[in-house]
């Protein structure tokens, strides 16, 4: 299988890549990661309980609009390269086909799906992935195996931490569906957007910290409730509200706080 000249290799639906050298953890790192995992699970359980009425309403709306399961499992590459089925609410009819990316105003979206795409409600079932220890609340974006294969070396570092429901690249590219070049969205994603995402995810994976995770969760809540866009500095990971709304040609650059020359 190939994507724009790049050879993609799959084994049991996972990416075949060089074996990863597992870095030994210090006692402090083990304590920090254990604390993060415990907090992730505790918060995810609490959120599922609090949001149960909303989740039930969404399930009923999806089933009322189109037949089929209200859930969709997206195959991604997970922690340490393990296959990961990310649980989402279904935004399209069960037989929908086409691009592996969702565009703004995508005709495949149902009416409920279009609403969920705008509000990110479709991501809420991933709390179950967190409870199962497959994901974290904050971490690198879980990516499609076809795209991971294009940056296998970089993802050897990214996949050393659990992927997250939200994170630096998720915030920086929250408006991805409006950024993509509609004439060739996959090439635009591979050539322009994905490299910036990978850089951010690599930076996060270098030194994941609880303080940074708390700030990321806070900015995620601000972005969702106040409908603001967040800029993420590609060097420090610091987040701030984007001051001006970028146009399609500059959005992917401004999202990570860099100039065109830096690319």
* Number of structural domains the chain divides into: 1
pLDDT reported for residue 104: 87
pLDDT reported for residue 32: 66
Alpha helix segments (H runs only) across the chain = 27-50, 52-65, 111-119, 126-131, 145-148, 152-158, 168-172, 176-179, 185-188, 194-206, 210-226, 251-254
The tens digit of pLDDT for each residue in 210-244 reads 889 999 999 999 999 898 999 999 888 999 998 76
Of residues 58 and 6, more confidence is placed in 58
Query: Is residue 16 very low, low, confident or very high in pLDDT (cuts 50, 70, 90)?
Result: very low
CA distance 161 to 30: 12
Query: Are 148 and 158 contacting, i.e. CB atoms less than 8 angstroms apart?
Result: no
Using DSSP bridges, classify how beta strands 164-166 and 136-138 pair: parallel, antiparallel or unpaired. Answer: parallel
Query: Are 65 and 111 contacting, i.e. CB atoms less than 8 angstroms apart?
Result: yes
Query: Is residue 30 very low, low, confident or very high in pLDDT (cuts 50, 70, 90)?
Result: low
CA distance 101 to 143: 11
Q: Of the candidates 170, 141, 189, 177, which has an alpha carbon nearest to the alpha carbon of residue 6?
A: 189
Query: Are 234 and 255 contacting, i.e. CB atoms less than 8 angstroms apart?
Result: no
- Listing DSSP states for 121-162 in one string gives GGGTTHHHHHHTTS-EEESSPP--HHHHGGGHHHHHHHTTS-
Tokens of 100: 């592996």
- Residues of the domain holding 236: 2-262
């Amino acid at each position: 299988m190939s994507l724009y000249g790049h050879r993609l290799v799959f084994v049991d639906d996972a990416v075949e890549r060089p074996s990863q050298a597992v870095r030994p953890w210090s006692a402090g790192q083990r304590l920090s990661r254990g604390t993060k995992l415990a907090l992730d699970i505790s918060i995810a359980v609490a959120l599922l309980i609090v949001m149960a009425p909303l989740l039930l309403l969404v399930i009923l709306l999806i089933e009322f609009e189109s037949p089929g399961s209200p859930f969709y499992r997206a195959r991604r590459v997970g922690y340490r390269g393990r296959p990961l089925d990310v649980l989402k609410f279904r935004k399209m009819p069960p037989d929908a086909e086409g691009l592996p990316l969702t565009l703004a105003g995508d005709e495949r979206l149902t009416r409920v799906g279009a609403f969920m795409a705008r509000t990110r409600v479709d991501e809420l079932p991933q709390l179950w992935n967190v409870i199962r220890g497959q994901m974290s609340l904050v971490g690198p974006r879980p990516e499609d195996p076809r795209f991971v294969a294009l940056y296998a070396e970089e993802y050897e570092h990214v996949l050393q931490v659990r992927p997250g429901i939200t994170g630096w690249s998720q915030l920086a590219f929250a408006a991805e569906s409006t950024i993509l070049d509609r004439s060739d969205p996959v090439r635009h994603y591979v050539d322009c957007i994905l490299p910036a995402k990978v850089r951010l995810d690599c930076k996060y994976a270098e030194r994941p910290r609880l303080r940074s995770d708390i700030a990321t969760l806070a900015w995620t809540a601000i972005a969702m409730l106040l409908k603001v866009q967040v800029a993420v500095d590609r060097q420090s990971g610091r987040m701030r509200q984007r001051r001006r709304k970028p146009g399609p040609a500059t959005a992917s650059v401004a999202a990570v706080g860099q100039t065109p020359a830096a690319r």
